[in-house]
Chain A
Amino acid sequence: MAVINKDVVIIGGGPAGLAAAVELNKQGISDIVILEREKQLGGILRQCIHDGFGLTRFKQTLSGPEYSQRFINQVEELQIEYITETTVIDITPDKKVIAASQNGLLEYQAKAVVLTMGCRERTRGAISIPGTRPAGVYNAGVAQAYINLHNTMVGKEVVILGSGDIGMIMARRMTLEGAKVKAVFEILPYPSGLPRNIEQCLNDYDIPLYLSHTVTNIRGRSRLEGVVVSEVDEQLKPIPGTEKEYACDTLILSVGLIPENELSLACGVELDPRTKGAIVDENYQTTTDGVFAAGNVLHVHDLVDFVSLEAEALARSVAGYIKASRLDNCDIAITTDVNISHTIPQKISGFNDCKLSLRVRKPMKNCEIEIIQNDAIIKTVNLKKAIPAEMIQIKLDKTELQAVGEIRVVVR
């Protein structure tokens, strides 16, 4: 097997990989390849046919396929190499990439590897719902693929567990396709998805949303016949005596997304248990030299616009790395208080402008986020509201930063 040398190998041709490829090309790095396991580029956006994408990036509202096509068109125009139906099966710490393609095994030696594999859905097994194992229990994204790509309707009477955005979007989609969506149940006392989706996907179609409720039993032999729903207490434990049965042939799970990092682990990338994605510095470089990550493989985003912007920032760093074969050391750690779930990046140099992405752990009103270094508040951001469903981004100017001293992010 002849080794193919590349400046950059990009793993995954979804929104992050596409944006990274285009920006790398613009930065003068053209010896690159995108490896995509599906038949077509575009990633999850291929099945996200609803509109609402692109307001930040393109100042207009587009459907998912239109949004990704804009990047695919640029990839074609710039003649960036991509190979579809090709699954990367291993990445080594010295940046060898092994892929299974239609033409057999491919081996690349990259100067830099870009991880843009996206995320996958949490399943029934991950949240341990008791009961039988009938057909009719789907993850929201799986149901979305059946309906929007394969022209296969998944059921008629539907209950949705989890108020993630995909679950709510599927509630609307299935209603438009003639199904009866009986209710959405959310275990937490607040919704997981964006307020606009509660409005335009649930309220518009009179689909009730019950907070602090979860599915505690699944009934049915070959096909789902019904689910039992219980209220939960403050510790999220089902309250005995509150059980209610809902007859349905379909249960849709929208219970969270997990960055897809098996390949990252293979090349020695250290993960952050909070994001389940890589620990990165301000350059989006992971703990493995020359391996970079952005998009949903790094941390789950709510808006694709921010995935593209993050991947473009990554590409500028990768270009710098290829040209100079190193980047500034990033030794300043960023820590958070209990009400902030995480930050991306987790480390910065202190010498450059950077952007922090973070989420609050619970809904807050009229709060202040403070960035503190060496006991001094270097930045304060006032927010009218902050909710876990919405990622918050804060720009830090290099003039505000010191070269030494841990940074702490707190919310009050």
Chain B
Amino acid sequence: MKKEYTCIVCPNGCEVEAEIEGVQVIDVTGAGCKKGKEYVEQELTDPQRNIATSMLVENGILPLVSVRLTKPVPKARIFDVIQAVKQIKIAAPVKIEQVVIENILGLGSDVIATKNVYTK
């Protein structure tokens, strides 16, 4: 079976046409690099996404600190992760790259701050 994908690994957004049998990728065309095939394989078996959101900050110069995951998580768990991050309020100062939640929901990915938020 032929299936078309837009690779999201980089901004090139290659249109990848894949020849698929079950969860087996037989052949891909249109990918600018080898990551295109890896992306299709991942999409077929367990699509994953990295996501960014914000976490509440107490006593900071900003009310929020932006955060992201260190590793993508299964697409189906995105909303669970967002909800888990929403439950937590962190005290300023928050430092960029600081781990704010370790191994979120046991998914093997940490939530890290992506900006500095100094104390008010």
Chain A positions within 8 Å of B, measured between CB atoms, are 46, 49-52, 55, 61-63, 65-66, 69, 147-151, 176-177, 194-196, 198-200, 204, 302-303, 384-385, 390
CA distance in complex: A51, B109 (Å):
15
Residues of B participating in the A interface, judged by any CB pair closer than 8 Å: 6-8, 10-11, 13, 15, 30, 49-54, 56, 62-64, 66-68, 75, 78-79, 82, 96-97, 114-116
Q: Given the known inter-chain contacts A66-B96, A69-B96, please indicate yes or no for A151 contacting B82, CB distance below 8 A.
A: no
**Which of B7, B50, B62, B96 touches A196 (beta carbons < 8 Å)?**
B7
CB–CB B114/A52 < 8 A: no
Q: A63-B52, A69-B116, A148-B54 are in contact. List 13 more A-B contacts (CB 8 A).
A: A49-B52, A51-B52, A51-B68, A63-B68, A65-B66, A66-B97, A66-B115, A69-B115, A196-B6, A196-B11, A198-B6, A199-B13, A204-B75
Q: Assess the B6–A65 pair: CB atoms within 8 A.
A: no
The residue that A194 contacts in the complex, of B13, B30, B56, B67, with Cβ under 8 A, is B13
Q: A51-B68, A66-B115, A151-B64 are in contact. Are A196 and B15 (CB under 8 A)?
A: no
Nearest to A169 among chain B residues (CB) is B52
Q: Determine if A176 and B13 form an interchain contact, defined as CB atoms under 8 angstroms apart.
A: no
Ordered by A's residue number, 20 sampled pairs between the chains whose C-beta atoms are within 8 Å are A49-B52, A49-B53, A49-B54, A49-B114, A51-B50, A63-B52, A63-B66, A65-B115, A66-B115, A69-B116, A149-B64, A151-B63, A176-B51, A176-B78, A177-B82, A195-B6, A196-B11, A196-B13, A200-B49, A204-B75
CA distance A63 to B67 in the complex (A): 9
Query: B residues within 8 A CB of A195?
Result: 6, 13, 15
CB distance from B90 to the nearest CB of A (A): 13
Cα distance A150–B64 in the bound complex, in angstroms: 7
Question: How far does the alpha carbon of A390 sit from the alpha carbon of B79 in the complex, in Å?
Answer: 31
Taking a contact as CB atoms under 8 Å apart, the answer to whether B54 and A151 are in contact is yes
Chain B residues whose CB sits within 8 angstroms of the CB of A148 once the complex forms: 54, 64, 66
Tell me whether A385 and B15 are in contact (CB under 8 A): yes
Residue contact B52 to A194, C-beta cutoff 8 Å:
no
Separation of A150 and B13 alpha carbons in the complex (Å): 32
Residues of chain B within 8 A (CB-CB) of A196 are 6-8, 10-11, 13
Question: Measured between alpha carbons, how far is A147 from B54 in the docked complex, in Å?
Answer: 9
Interchain nearest-CB distance for B43 vs A (Å): 10
* B79 x A176 contact (CB < 8 A): yes
**What is the minimal beta-carbon distance from A41 to any residue of chain B, in angstroms?**
11
**What's the least CB distance linking B52 to chain A, in Å?**
5
List, in ascending order, chain B residues with CB within 8 A of A66's CB.
96-97, 114-115
Contact residues in A for B63 (Cβ distance below 8 Å): 150-151
Q: Is there contact, CB below 8 Å, between A200 and B8?
A: yes
Contact A151 B13 (CB under 8 A): no
Residue of B nearest to A72 (CB): B116
Assembly CA distance A195 to B30 (angstroms): 14
The distance in angstroms between the C-alpha atoms of A149 and B61, with both chains bound, is: 11
Query: A55 to B11, Cβ gap below 8 A?
Result: yes
Q: How far is the CA of A298 from the CA of B50 in the complex (A)?
A: 32
The complex places the Cα of A195 from the Cα of B16 at a distance, in Å, of 12
Q: What is the distance, in angstroms, from A115's C-beta to the closest C-beta of chain B?
A: 26
| A199 & B66 in contact (Cβ 8 Å cutoff) | no
**Closest residue on chain A to residue B81 by CB atoms:** A176
Find chain B residues with CB under 8 A from A147 CB.
Answer: 54
Assembly CA distance A150 to B62 (angstroms): 7
| Distance A76 CA – B51 CA, assembled complex (angstroms) | 29
Q: Are A149 and B13 neighbours in the complex by a CB distance under 8 Å?
A: no
- Asked, given contacts A69-B96, A385-B15, whether A149 binds B79 with beta carbons under 8 Å apart, the answer is no
Q: Which residues of B contact A49 (CB under 8 A)?
A: 52-54, 66-68, 114
Given A69-B116, A194-B11, A195-B6, check contact A50 B64 (CB 8 Å). no
Q: In the complex, what's the smallest C-beta–C-beta distance from B31 to chain A, in angstroms?
A: 11
B50 contacts which chain A residues (CB < 8 A)? 51, 61
Chain B residue with minimal CB distance to A193? B13
List of A residues within 8 angstroms of B116 by Cβ: 69
- Expressed in whole angstroms, the minimum distance between the Cβ of A360 and any Cβ of chain B is 15
What residues on B are CB-neighbors of A177 within 8 Å?
53, 82
Residue in A closest to B64 when the chains form the complex, CB atoms: A151
| Distance in angstroms between the alpha carbons of A384 and B53 in the assembled complex | 35
Q: How far is the CA of A356 from the CA of B75 in the complex (A)?
A: 39
Q: How far is the CB of A245 from chain B (nearest CB, A)?
A: 29
Q: B114: which A residues are within 8 A, CB to CB?
A: 49, 62-63, 65-66
Residue in contact with A149 in the complex, picked from B6, B7, B62, B96, CB distance below 8 Å: B62
The residue in B10, B13, B68 that gathers the most chain A C-beta atoms within 10 A of its C-beta is: B13
